[in-house]
Amino acid sequence: MTPAKLVAERIIHRFGDTLALQDASLEIPAGEFVSIVGPSGSGKSTLFNVLSGLLEPTSGRVLIDGTEVTGETGHVGYMLQKDLLVPWRTVVGNVVLGAALTRGATDRDEAEARELAERYGLAGFQDHYPHALSGGMRQRVALMRTLAVHTDVLLLDEPFGALDSQTRLEMQQWLLEVWDELDRTVLFVTHDVDEAIFLADRVLVMSPRPGRIAAEVDVSIPRPRRLEALTSPAFTALKRRLLDLLYGQGAA
């Protein structure tokens, strides 16, 4: 049997005296879209930093395609709430940033970036600087940059958190389209329970500090998901369940 795409094995991490993550484990098969919800301070960002290789955990392992990559960067794509677009590079320049920072961006990289931008709603803006774009467009560019690095696993840390609710809705639908086309494995952190359910195949609930995966909820709403799904009974039931897990009697 092929190993799961992304595996986190009993990650424990301490910052000085504070225990941030305690026995956080997860297993994500290839192509799955998984949301993570949890109260503030439950260590979601720390988990992502460990998964991306930025942080070497106090103990535990990270494996991708069965190979250990604990503490190694370059194996996952990473996206934050801040778009972190480089102001002096154009849209295309930002999209090819991964290549530019490693082996140097080639003409082919640029052509690919242009096409990516064209396809995903930024046609005509390829040579614009970030300051001339709206918040939603900038996050799109950020996602394209993340995609352009051609990693199979994407870690998205509340990427739409800073956008207004209307834009957020548009971006969620757009993200689903892109994910559908490109078939990557996505881990998506959010505060928004609606967003978590709408996007994911599975929702993981993290406990408050010290963080671990406390519960798991399968989202069996069929794809492709339309806006109507947001108000369907199945959705509401899932939402009630998650809210319960997070804030109610079932809270860990």
Partner 1 sequence: MSGWRRAARLATPVFAVVGVFVLWDLTVRVFDVKPYLVPSPASTFQAIADDWEILRPYTWTTVTETVLGFVLGAVVGFVLAVLMSRWSLVQRVVYPLLVGSQAIPIVAIGFPLVILLGYGLRPKVSIVAFIVFFPVVVNVLDGLANVDRDLLNLAKVMSGRPWRVFLLIELPATVTPLFSALKLGATYAVTGAVLGEWIATTTRGLGNYLLVQNSRLNTDAVYGAVLLLTAIGVSGFLLVLGLERLATPWRSRSTARRWRRRTPPAGADVTEPSADPAMSATVAVSEDGSRTEGDRS
Q: Does 216 bind partner 1 (CB under 8 A)?
A: no
Q: Does 82 bind partner 1 (CB under 8 A)?
A: yes
Neighbours of 226 (CB within 10 A): 10
Single out the residue of 8, 133, 200, 245 in contact with partner 1 (rule: CB under 8 A): 133
What letter does residue 17 receive in the DSSP assignment? T
Q: Does 107 bind partner 1 (CB under 8 A)?
A: yes
| Burial tier of 47 (Cβ tally within 10 Å: 0-12, 13-18, 19+) | buried
> Any residues with CB less than 8 A from the CB of 196 and at least 6 apart, and which?
35, 36, 37, 188, 190, 203, 242
Q: How far is the CB of 38 from partner 1 (least distance, A)?
A: 21
Neighbours of 52 (CB within 10 A): 20
Q: Does 94 bind partner 1 (CB under 8 A)?
A: no
Single out the residue of 22, 58, 59, 173 in contact with partner 1 (rule: CB under 8 A): 173
The amino acid that residue 71 corresponds to is: G
Q: Does 233 bind partner 1 (CB under 8 A)?
A: no
CA–CA separation, 172 vs 40, rounded Å? 22
Q: Does 180 bind partner 1 (CB under 8 A)?
A: no
Q: Does 65 bind partner 1 (CB under 8 A)?
A: no
Q: Decide: 75 and 151 in contact? Cβ < 8 Å.
A: yes
Interface with partner 1 by CB under 8 A: which residues? 52-54, 73-74, 76, 78, 80, 82, 84, 86-88, 90, 97-98, 100-102, 104, 107, 110-111, 114-115, 118, 120-137, 149, 166-167, 170, 173-174, 177
